[in-house]
Chains A and B, each alone.
Chain A
């Protein structure tokens, strides 16, 4: 069962929920309704204060149409700008 990341025994959890939501112009309430949770829970997920169950993570991935590892990670995500420009530099 997932637990709040405030427990030091739990691994730190990272996600791109806020970025993806904003990209799609989706409110917390809309995303919450799509995945069947309370809007407050989306806030807790975005702040990394709650780790979702596998089922919830899969539902969120389905809503965004992305693989789960593009949304959640146990290691910090590189900033999108760095990824984008970094890959451009590599290809040029």
Chain B
């Protein structure tokens, strides 16, 4: 009897047939849209954080965490974890798709990073007032989270996943 590795167990969880109804382009697009929406709410929340009452911050923050975990987890299962599983857990077609997903995610991320640098440079050149602490936090935290989920978002838009 063969012993399953951690990667094999993870692959089985992500290939769970209970998620079969999400494994179609429309569902994956909706899940990706939901995840982008959660990131947008997170950005907004962080940007206005200093002005918000504590209870509202906690409530919205909890909703963001629950939403992010729900959308991301379901999206990973909808794409069978092709963007995160190690090579030995994928077959050759899936490994090839994963390679293409990572290349596309890298290109999109590079484009977004370049745009962000351009905005910062423009901000300095126009001598605009310094952003508040909320906006600075959002500008650091949200790109970090976006970088984490970008391969999932790219995978969601592939028809052959």
Q: Which residues of A contact B (CB under 8 A)?
A: 1-4, 36-38, 41, 44, 49-50, 52-53, 55-56
When chains A and B are docked, how far (Å) is the Cα of A38 from the Cα of B15? 10
Closest to A50 in B: B93
When the two chains form their complex, are residues A37 and B96 in contact, meaning their CB atoms are under 8 A apart?
no
Give the distance to chain B from A86, nearest Cβ to Cβ, in Å: 35
Q: Mark B1-31, 1 if CB is under 8 A from A, else 0.
A: 0000000000000010000000000000000
Q: Shortest distance in angstroms between A18's beta carbon and chain B's nearest beta carbon?
A: 17
Which of the residues A3, A4, A38, A52 comes within 8 Å of B94, measured between beta carbons? A38
Q: Name the prevailing secondary structure of the A interface residues.
A: loop
Interface size class of B (residues with CB under 8 A): under 10
Interface: B92 (CB within 8 A): yes
Contact B91 A2 (CB under 8 A): no
Q: Which of B90, B92, B93, B94 has the most CB of A within 10 A?
A: B93
Give bound CA distance, A40 to B160, whole Å. 10
Contact present for A41 and B96 (CB under 8 Å): no
Contact for A53 among B80, B92, B94, CB less than 8 A: B92
Contact B160 A36 (CB under 8 A): no
Output the nearest chain A residue to B99 by Cβ-Cβ distance. A1
* Alpha-carbon distance between A4 and B96 when the two chains are bound, in angstroms: 9
Q: Write the B116-150 contact mask toward A (1 if CB under 8 angstroms, else 0).
A: 00000000000000000000000000000000000
